[in-house]
Amino acid sequence: MRLDGGVEDRPEPFELTDGQVVVRPWRPEDAGWVTDACQDTGIQRWTTVPSPYTRADAEWFVGELAPSAWADGTALHGAVVDPGSGEGLGSVALGFHAPVPGVGEAGYWTAPNRRRRGVASAALDLVVEWGFGEAGLHRVELLIDPRNAASRAVALQSGFVSEGVLRRRGTLRGVVHDVEVFAVLRP
Ligand SMILES: CC(C)(COP(=O)(O)OP(=O)(O)OC[C@H]1O[C@@H](n2cnc3c(N)ncnc32)[C@H](O)[C@@H]1OP(=O)(O)O)[C@@H](O)C(=O)NCCC(=O)NCCS
């Protein structure tokens, strides 16, 4: 099934793995660890999650936003979990249907106590591969605040190329900031 020409069918459930991490659909029971992880100042500083972040925010995310985006054919929102224990490690997303056909946009966070172990870059690699295959994308972008050194490092680790800085292009929590565009192209 290809999704690049529009939403022909509801996508099949996904489960992506490289043996190091599993990316699977969010489940109601994930709300607890998502709530804990999203208390992190880094996640609140660099992503669009609500701040302060409550259990109700997590329940809405895993129970409503993520499944409806998948059903609508607009985005894959995945829980990143340990393949053996099933422990929650992080979050990854790939918007694959808007605003430019064939161009996806990815995002991610890793639970604070599971960082610097390759979780984000592994999850990003998996959704990019899925995007180039199942979703028929030819380009995936990351829009990163240039001050976010960790996220820039993840992008470079996963083969993204910096294409430049759009000055004052973003606004987060009412504060205007620069946006660095990273992209990877389908081989
Ligand atoms: C950015 C973030 C997702 C990185 O997650 P992670 O799982 O620790 O990243 P990885 O372990 O896959 O790291 C990939 C590469 O980036 C490097 N890296 C990770 N964090 C880094 C940091 N704080 N400073 C410098 N390099 C860093 C790693 O060393 C690794 O490269 P290397 O192992 O070859 O040296 C995590 O710090 C986070 O959740 N931050 C808050 C949310 C956020 O910024 N999301 C992105 C918004 S654009």
Cβ of 119 below 6 Å from ligand 1: yes
Q: Hey, what CATH topology would domain 16-143 get?
A: Aminopeptidase (3.40.630)
Does 5 have pLDDT greater than 50? no
Q: Pick the residue whose CA is nearest to atom 10 on ligand 1.
A: 118
What is the pTM for the complete model shown?
0.95
Q: State residue 7's pLDDT score.
A: 44
Distances (CA, A) of 175 to 29, 53, 101, 147, 164: 34, 19, 29, 14, 20
CA of 95 to the centre of ligand 1 (A): 20
Q: State residue 182's pLDDT score.
A: 98
CA distance 82 to 86: 5
CA of 155 to the centre of ligand 1 (A): 9
Q: State residue 20's pLDDT score.
A: 98
Q: Is the peptide bond between 52 and the residue preceding it cis, with omega within 30 degrees of 0?
A: yes
Distances (CA, A) of 82 to 15, 68, 78, 119: 13, 25, 13, 9
Delimit the domains of the chain by residue range. 16-143
Q: State residue 98's pLDDT score.
A: 76
The arithmetic mean of pLDDT across residues 110-121, rounded, is 98
Cβ of 150 below 6 Å from ligand 1: yes
Q: State residue 4's pLDDT score.
A: 44
Does 41 have pLDDT greater than 60? yes
SS (H, E, C) 69-115: HHHHCCEEEEEEECCCCCCEEEEEEEECCCCCCCEEEEEEEECHHHC
Q: State residue 15's pLDDT score.
A: 97
For 164-182, the DSSP string reads EEEEEEEEETTEEEEEEEE
> Beta strand pairing status for 22-25 and 16-17?
antiparallel
Does 11 have pLDDT greater than 90? no
CA of 32 to the centre of ligand 1 (A): 23
Confidence of residue 135 (pLDDT cuts 50, 70, 90): very high
Q: Which residue among 21, 92, 143, 154 is best mutated to probe the pocket of ligand 1, counting the most ligand atoms within 8 A of its Cβ?
A: 154
Per-residue pLDDT tens digits for 59-115: 999 999 999 999 999 999 999 999 999 999 999 999 998 789 999 999 999 999 999
Share of the chain above pLDDT 90, in %: 91
> Beta strand pairing status for 103-110 and 139-144?
parallel
Cβ of 147 below 6 Å from ligand 1: no
